[in-house]
Structure 1
Amino acid sequence: MDEQTHSPFNALPPVVVALAVVLGGIELLFQLASAGLIGGQEGVGWRIGAMQSYAVLDTVWEWMRANQSFPREHLVRFVTYPFLHGGLTHAAFVVVFILAIGKMVAEVFSALAVLLIFWLSAVVGGLAFVVLTDTPYPLIGGYPAVYGLIGAFSFIRWVNLGAMGENQMRAFGLIGMLLAIQLLFAAIYGNYGDVVADLSGFATGFLMSFLVSPGGGHRLLNRLRQRD
Structure 2
Amino acid sequence: MASVKYSRQIVIALIVICTAIEVSLLLADFGLVGSGRLRQTVYEYAGFWPGLLRTWQPNYDAQPYLMFVTYGFLHSGIAHLLINMVTLWSLSGAVIRRVGGRGFVLLYGFSIVAGAIGYAFLNTTPVPMVGASGALFGLAGGLLAWSYVDRYTAQQGLWPVAQAIVLLIGLNLVLWWAMDGHLAWQTHFGGFLGGWMIATVIDPRPRERKT
TM-score range, shorter chain: 0.7 to 0.9
Q: Distance in 2 between matches of 1:153 and 1:138?
A: 28
Aligned to 2:33: 38
Identity fraction in percent: 23
Gapped regions of structure 1 (runs ≥ 5): 1-9, 221-228
**Aligned 8 A contact 1:152 1:206 in 2:** yes
Matched, 1:48 2:54: no
Q: Distance in 1 between matches of 2:14 and 2:97?
A: 15
* Structure-to-structure mapping, 1:1-228, within 5 angstroms: 13-39=8-34, 42=35, 44-63=36-55, 71-187=61-177, 189-191=180-182, 194-213=184-203, 216=204, 219=205
**TM-score, normalised on structure 1?**
0.78
Larger helix proportion, structure 1 or 2?
1
Q: In structure 2, do the counterparts of structure 1 residues 98 and 131 end up closer, same or farther at CA, with 3 Å as the change threshold?
A: same
Deviations 1:41-84 (A, max 9, x none): x1x221111111111112222226xx9xx941221111100111
Q: Distance in 2 between matches of 1:28 and 1:160?
A: 41
Deviations 1:60-109 (A, max 9, x none): 22226xx9xx9412211111001111100001111011100011111111
3-state SS of paired residue (1:13):
helix
Deviations 1:166-222 (A, max 9, x none): 212412433421221212343562356x11211110111111111112xx2xx39xx
Deviation at 1:119, TM superposition (A): 1.6
**TM-score, normalised on structure 2?**
0.83
Q: CA RMSD in A?
A: 2.4
3-state SS of paired residue (2:98):
coil
Compare 55-64 and 163-172 and name the one that shifted more: 163-172
Q: Distance in 2 between matches of 1:12 and 1:127?
A: 27
**Aligned 8 A contact 2:6 2:101 in 1:** no
Q: Which amino acid aligns with 2:193?
A: A
Number of paired residues? 199
Q: Which amino acid aligns with 1:27?
A: E
3-state SS of paired residue (2:83):
helix
3-state SS of paired residue (1:63):
coil
**Aligned 8 A contact 2:84 2:133 in 1:** yes
Deviations 1:134-174 (A, max 9, x none): 11321110000111111111123223433543212412433
Aligned to 1:226: none
Gapped regions of structure 2 (runs ≥ 5): 207-211
**Aligned 8 A contact 2:96 2:104 in 1:** yes
Deviations 1:19-45 (A, max 9, x none): 222212211222222233322xx1x22
